[in-house]
């Protein structure tokens, strides 16, 4: 069973709605819309409000047409493509998201580098999947509420990443096209059952982008919280191992 961080236990939920967050979120917004950050760009804070940035590599997994590129665009605040065009290779998108830690009150900028690779490209070129696996911190497993086969394929998608990366990897499931309820092929009961049996959080995505923050806050906070939780567990484990090694050498 996967270790999942309870929502809101480590980071302040809906912090983007609080007054003290405006100074930080203003650095990722321009005229109330998200800024586009290149690989070498980052938000610039004044010296009195300087914050640490933590970097993570996120791979987006899913069948062709499930909405991987659209999700990456949504999370980054980019324009969501109207027509489907399969990704021919690997595309990366940088997302900055400020988070306030609940216990310490410390603010961090999460720099999430999203990796998106077309399913056919992964099948054709053997070197692409190892590149996606290398130093990965989290995987988003996608299914579409309007595509039953993508939901049924989730166990196969997850199995590809079970014990294959050589490190602890955060795993989240995202159901796309949640707004297309008239064409829904997956029921809420099935989603709840899957969540209970797999132990993985299931987030939902879909609809028009409105303010650029509220539409993605729940998913990005969940991802950031579980990444930070994983780091805390790793740090604690490494510290415990160091203490054991020191005791053995005495």
State the pLDDT at residue 49: 81
State the pLDDT at residue 208: 63
Quote the CA–CA distance of 217 and 76 in Å, as a whole number: 11
Query: Mutual orientation of helices 214-249 and 68-76 as an angle, nearest 10°?
Result: 90
185 vs 24, higher pLDDT: 24
State the pLDDT at residue 242: 52
Quote the CA–CA distance of 232 and 222 in Å, as a whole number: 15
| Region of poorest pLDDT, from 122-126, 139-143, 193-197 | 122-126
Contact in structure between 176 and 206 (CB atoms under 8 Å): yes
- CB-based burial, 87-105: b 16+ in 10 Å, e otherwise: beebeebbbbbbbbeeeee
Binned at pLDDT 50, 70 and 90, residue 240 comes out as very low
For 97-123, how does the pLDDT look when each residue is reduced to its tens digit (9 = 90+)?
A: 999 999 999 999 999 999 998 777 777
- Residues in the chain, total: 250
Contact in structure between 94 and 38 (CB atoms under 8 Å): yes
Q: Is 66 exposed, middle or buried (CB count within 10 Å of its CB: 0-12, 13-18, 19+)?
A: buried
Share of the chain above pLDDT 70, in %: 86
Tell me the average pLDDT across 196-209: 85
Binned at pLDDT 50, 70 and 90, residue 239 comes out as very low
Tell me the average pLDDT across 55-82: 89
Binned at pLDDT 50, 70 and 90, residue 31 comes out as confident
State the pLDDT at residue 55: 96
| Mean pLDDT of the chain, nearest integer | 85
Angle (CA) 109-231-200 rounded to 5° is 95
State the pLDDT at residue 2: 46
State the pLDDT at residue 128: 83
Strands (E), 78-156: 90-100, 107-117, 138-144
Phi, psi of 128 (to 5 degrees): -70, -45
State the pLDDT at residue 184: 82
Q: Enumerate helices (H) and strands (E) in the chain, giving the number of each.
A: 8, 8
189 vs 245, higher pLDDT: 189
């Amino acid at each position: 069973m996967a270790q999942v961080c309870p929502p809101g236990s480590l980071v302040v939920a809906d912090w983007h709605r609080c007054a003290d967050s405006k100074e930080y979120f203003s650095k990722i917004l321009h005229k109330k819309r998200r800024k586009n950050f290149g690989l070498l760009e980052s938000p610039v804070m004044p010296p009195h409000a300087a914050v640490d940035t933590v970097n993570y590599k996120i791979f987006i997994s899913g069948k062709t047409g499930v909405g991987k590129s659209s999700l990456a665009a949504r999370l980054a605040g980019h324009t969501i493509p109207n027509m489907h065009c399969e990704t021919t290779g690997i595309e990366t998108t940088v997302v900055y998201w400020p988070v306030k830690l609940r216990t310490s009150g410390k603010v961090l900028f999460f720099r999430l580098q999203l990796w998106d690779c077309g399913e056919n490209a992964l099948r054709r070129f053997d070197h692409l999947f190892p590149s996606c696996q290398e130093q990965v911190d989290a995987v988003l497993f996608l299914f579409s509420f309007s595509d039953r086969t993508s939901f049924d394929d989730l166990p196969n998608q997850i199995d590809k990443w079970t014990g294959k990366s050589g490190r602890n990897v955060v795993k989240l499931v995202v159901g796309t096209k949640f707004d297309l309820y008239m064409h829904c092929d997956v029921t809420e009961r099935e989603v709840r059952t899957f969540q209970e049996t797999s132990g993985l959080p299931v987030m939902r995505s879909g609809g028009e982008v409105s303010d650029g923050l509220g539409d993605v806050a729940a998913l990005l906070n969940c991802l950031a919280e579980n990444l930070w939780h994983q780091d805390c567990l790793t740090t604690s484990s490494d510290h415990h191992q160091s203490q054991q090694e020191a005791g053995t050498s005495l």
